[in-house]
Chain A
Amino acid sequence: DAGITQSPRHKVTETGTPVTLRCHQTENHRYMYWYRQDPGHGLRLIHYSYGVKDTDKGEVSDGYSVSRSKTEDFLLTLESATSSQTSVYFCAISPLGSGPNNEQFFGPGTRLTVL
């Protein structure tokens, strides 16, 4: 298994509160990604990072921010959580740019409920 952990694994919060999800990798991959998975929408990219302090937006980035201060950690922050952000969040890592392989490996997910 790829060395990816996510924390917390489950969280219930209230509308308007800030929430931070953490992704930690032990593979030293340059690329890291945050996705959300919802019924009827599949997996959608929120933000990604291509190095320390280097990040870019995905297709559903509104209401989310990210930070990457170390290669191994990628944080996703919901500045003011809304019920529409209730979802399962997955972190992924990729050896893209390090060789011929460009697949993504996923973490176990965080189930977030915003009441």
Chain B
Amino acid sequence: EDQVTQSPEALRLQEGESSSLNCSYTVSGLRGLFWYRQDPGKGPEFLFTLYSAGEEKEKERLKATLTKKESFLHITAPKPEDSATYLCAVQGDVYNQGGKLIFGQGTELSVKP
């Protein structure tokens, strides 16, 4: 069974204090691993797709990396506007013609000035 576990559940940082969020996964053949940002009362906002181990993608202060068992979202010198819940999801390629995503429960990030 495809499964995603995110840690920590919540993370409080001071502005400028870099850290990482973890996404551990098990999947029957990985088609893609996705990171989303979700602000309160809004829908998830797409950030990155990673397809294979060793792949890295960057966007502003965020950098996502992927291994065969986990993904990390590194946040460098965060600002208060980076405060949000970050969601990780996997898409398996076995018996998954619909491209279904399995989501983790998210990490709630709070960045204080």
Contact assessment for A107 and B43 in the assembled complex, using a CB-CB cutoff below 8 Å = yes
Instruction: Across the interface, name the chain A residue whose C-beta is closest to B41.
Output: A109
Residues of B within 8 A of A101 (CB): 49
Contacts of A43 in B (CB 8 A): 44, 87, 89, 101, 103
- Give residues of chain B (64-88) contacting chain A, Cβ–Cβ below 8 Å: 87
Interface residues of A in 57-81 (CB under 8 A from B): 58
Give the size category of B's interface with A.
Answer: 20 to 34
Within 8 A of B (CB), among A7-58: 31, 33, 40-45, 48, 50, 56, 58
Q: Give the interface SS of chain A, mostly helix, strand, loop or mixed.
A: strand
What is the distance, in angstroms, from B21's C-beta to the closest C-beta of chain A? Answer: 15
> Given the interface contacts A90-B44, A106-B43, does A96 sit within 8 Å of B99 by beta carbon?
yes
Q: Are A42 and B44 in contact (CB under 8 A)?
A: no
Least CB distance, A80 to chain B, in whole angstroms: 26
How long is the Cα–Cα vector from A58 to B46 in the complex, in angstroms? 21
Contact of A102 among B31, B36, B45, B106 (CB under 8 A): B31
Q: Out of A42, A50, A90, A103, which one reaches B98, CB within 8 Å?
A: A50
Q: Determine if B42 and A42 form an interchain contact, defined as CB atoms under 8 angstroms apart.
A: no
A3 at the interface (CB under 8 A from B): no
Is the beta-carbon distance between B98 and A56 smaller than 8 angstroms? Answer: yes
Q: How far is the CB of B26 from chain A (nearest CB, A)?
A: 16
Please list 6 pairs of residues, one from A and one from B, whose beta carbons are closer than 8 Å in the complex, sorted by A's number: A31-B99, A45-B101, A48-B100, A56-B98, A104-B101, A107-B43
Known pairs A101-B49, A102-B31, A102-B91; list 7 more (Cβ under 8 Å): A42-B87, A42-B105, A43-B101, A50-B98, A102-B99, A106-B36, A109-B42
List B residues at the A interface (Cβ < 8 Å).
31-32, 34, 36, 41-46, 49, 87, 89, 91, 97-101, 103-106
